[in-house]
Amino acid sequence: MAQDRLPSRSLSHSEAEIELGAAEPLAADEADSFASTQISSPTRDAWRRFRRNKAAIIGLTVIVLMMIMAVFAPFMHTSDPTVPDPNVINGGPSPIHWFGTDYVGRDGYSRIVYGLRVPLIVGFIGTAITVIIGTLVGLIAGYVGRTIDSLLSRFTDIMFAFPGFILALIVVSLFGAAADSFGMGGAGRVLLLTVVFAAVGWPPLMRFVRSLALTMKEQQFVEAARTAGSRDWGIMRRHLLPNMWGLVLVQGAFIVVATISNETILSIFGLTVQQPNPDLGSMLFFGVQNIDNSYWQVVFPGVVLAILILALTFLADGIRDAVDPRARG
């Protein structure tokens, strides 16, 4: 068996992963183990593996804590994050202002607590949308095939050709100020960023899901379902999706990391949420300009951002290892 699968190693990494994920249960049992009632078994296995992964658990904890902070920011902050104070401009860390203050004397800690909302919203909601789009398009293209596949694949190729970051850069620089006019407190800009990153993130995932679907539809359990008279949509929903959601989740986790990094990179060109609204990225944007004499304006938001990205990476790695144990070795 192992020998037979050797040639597949010369496929791309993602396709290799596909085989691993899809073939594992197949190799273990006969086809009917894929009946939807028994799907929980690999899920439970994955969860068991995940719980044993310390780094992943730490990552998950950190992210949950950050989300709680962001959601309950009104109860967590120490002073109003938008009100300037001329007496503590560029103040260093102190018992009152734990993380120092910014260029107009606003409290760094409070701004971070509120400012976490932006990367979290853009990262998670943007990714959720991207995952939905990518999975749906990929599934339909891969399963239905033929003309629809060609059309969707070519469309994806087009989207794929745009360097995602550049597209986001252009859209936000062209339409950012217009978006600010909608919604108070920078909500318009956040919405725009979310939509933009959702729009640029899905093509790789679509290709991934498409090849998963291509592989799976040839397999016995799908054939069996088809012969039994299940309709296409039903097959996709009951047989394909449950078998790929773990792998999709892994991809999704990595997309969150990429989205949050890209969103904060846009901020150094001054393109994310505008003043006076708090945002981690814009704190860095202004902090970087002031780094020669007020290092804390970069270090605190920078460290928080680095922790967030590290935690997400740990989590993503953990999910991958749990869902797809062989990828780890």
**Residues in 265-294 that interact with another protein by CB under 8 A:** 265, 268-270, 274-276, 284-286, 288-294
Segment near another protein (CB under 8 A); pick from 7-15, 29-37, 190-198, 230-238: 7-15
Segment near another protein (CB under 8 A); pick from 25-33, 130-138, 235-243, 308-316: 308-316
Tell me whether residue 230 or residue 274 sits nearer to another protein (CB atom).
274
**By CB under 8 A, residue 166 contacts another protein:** yes
Minimum Å gap between C-beta 46 and another protein is 18
Of 54, 64, 158, 182, which lies in the binding site for another protein, with binding defined by CB under 8 A? 158
Segment near another protein (CB under 8 A); pick from 71-79, 91-99, 110-118, 171-179: 171-179
Q: What distance in Å separates the CA atoms of residue 84 and residue 192, rounded to the nearest whole number?
A: 27
- List C-alpha distances in Å: 150 to 145, 158, 208: 7, 12, 15
Of 62, 104, 144, 249, which lies in the binding site for another protein, with binding defined by CB under 8 A? 104
Tell me whether residue 224 or residue 288 sits nearer to another protein (CB atom).
288
Q: By rule CB under 8 A, what count of residues binds another protein?
A: 74
Tell me whether residue 181 or residue 227 sits nearer to another protein (CB atom).
181
Q: What distance in Å separates the CA atoms of residue 157 and residue 48, rounded to the nearest whole number?
A: 38
**By CB under 8 A, residue 44 contacts another protein:** no
Minimum Å gap between C-beta 286 and another protein is 6
Query: Bridge-partner residues for 101, per DSSP?
Result: 107
- Cβ-based neighbour number of residue 146 at 10 Å: 8
Of 29, 32, 157, 223, which lies in the binding site for another protein, with binding defined by CB under 8 A? 157
Residue 265 and residue 257 in contact, taking contact as beta carbons nearer than 8 Å: no
DSSP-assigned states of every residue in 192-224? HHHHHHHHHHHHHHHHHHHHHHHHHHTSHHHHH
Q: What distance in Å separates the CA atoms of residue 79 and residue 109, rounded to the nearest whole number?
A: 9
Which residues, 192 to 251, sit near another protein by CB under 8 A?
204
Which residues, 61 to 90, sit near another protein by CB under 8 A?
83-84, 86-87, 89-90
Q: What distance in Å separates the CA atoms of residue 154 and residue 108, rounded to the nearest whole number?
A: 47
Segment near another protein (CB under 8 A); pick from 135-143, 174-182, 220-228, 233-241: 174-182
**By CB under 8 A, residue 162 contacts another protein:** yes
Residue 250 and residue 324 in contact, taking contact as beta carbons nearer than 8 Å: yes
**All residues at 6 or more sequence positions from 105 whose CB lies less than 8 Å from its CB, including other chains:** 84, 85, 86, 87, 88, 89, 90, 91
CA angle 23–10–314, rounded 5-degree value: 65
Which residue, among 85, 288, 117, has the nearest Cα to 96 in the 3D structure?
Answer: 85
**By CB under 8 A, residue 50 contacts another protein:** no
One-letter amino acid of 160 = F
Minimum Å gap between C-beta 303 and another protein is 8
Q: What distance in Å separates the CA atoms of residue 158 and residue 173, rounded to the nearest whole number?
A: 21
**By CB under 8 A, residue 309 contacts another protein:** yes
Segment near another protein (CB under 8 A); pick from 37-45, 120-128, 167-175, 236-244: 167-175
- Cβ-based neighbour number of residue 319 at 10 Å: 25
Segment near another protein (CB under 8 A); pick from 123-131, 191-199, 238-246, 304-312: 304-312
